[in-house]
Chain A
Amino acid sequence: DIQMTQSPSSLSASVGDRVTITCRASQGISNYLAWFQQKPGKAPKSLIYAASSLQSGVPSKFSGSGSGTDFTLTITSLQPEDFATYYCQQYNSYPPTFGQGTKLEIK
Chain B
Amino acid sequence: QVQLVESGGGLVKPGGSLRLSCAASGFTFSDFYMSWIRQAPGKGLEWLSYITNSGSVIYYADSVKGRFTVSRDNAKNSLYLQMNSLRAEDTAVYYCARDESLQAWGQGALVTVSS
What is the interface size of chain A, counting residues whose CB is below 8 A from a CB of the partner?
21
Encoded as 1 (CB less than 8 Å from any A CB) or 0, chain B from 37 to 70 comes to 0000000111100100000000101100000000
User: What CA separation (Å) do A62 and B103 show in the bound complex?
Assistant: 15
User: What CA separation (Å) do A62 and B101 show in the bound complex?
Assistant: 17
Q: A97, B47: Cβ atoms under 8 Å?
A: yes
Q: A89, B61: Cβ atoms under 8 Å?
A: no
Which residues of the partner chain B approach A43 to less than 8 Å between Cβ atoms?
A: 95, 105-108
Which residues of the partner chain A approach B46 to less than 8 Å between Cβ atoms?
A: 98
Which residues of the partner chain B approach A95 to less than 8 Å between Cβ atoms?
A: 47, 59, 61-62
In the complex with contacts A94-B59, A98-B45, A98-B47, A45-B101 CB distance below 8 A: no
User: Chain A binding site: helix, strand, loop or mixed by DSSP?
Assistant: loop
Q: A89, B105: Cβ atoms under 8 Å?
A: no
Which residues of the partner chain A approach B107 to less than 8 Å between Cβ atoms?
A: 43
Q: A101, B44: Cβ atoms under 8 Å?
A: yes
Partner of B47, one of A32, A49, A50, A96: A96
**How many A-B pairs with Cβ below 8 Å?**
52
Residue A46 at the B interface, CB < 8 A?
A: yes
Residue B88 at the A interface, CB < 8 A?
A: no
Residue B89 at the A interface, CB < 8 A?
A: no
Residue A55 at the B interface, CB < 8 A?
A: yes
User: What CA separation (Å) do A44 and B62 show in the bound complex?
Assistant: 23
Query: Which A residues, 81 to 95, have Cβ-Cβ distances below 8 Å to chain B?
Result: 87, 89, 91, 94-95
- Nearest residue (CB) in B for A48 is B101
Q: A46, B103: Cβ atoms under 8 Å?
A: yes
Pick 10 A–B contacts, CB within 8 A, sort by A.
Answer: A34-B101, A43-B95, A43-B108, A44-B95, A46-B101, A89-B102, A96-B35, A98-B45, A98-B46, A101-B44
**Residues of chain B having any CB pair with chain A under 8 Å:** 35, 44-47, 50, 59, 61-62, 95, 100-108
**Residues of chain A having any CB pair with chain B under 8 Å:** 32, 34, 36, 43-46, 49-50, 55, 87, 89, 91, 94-101
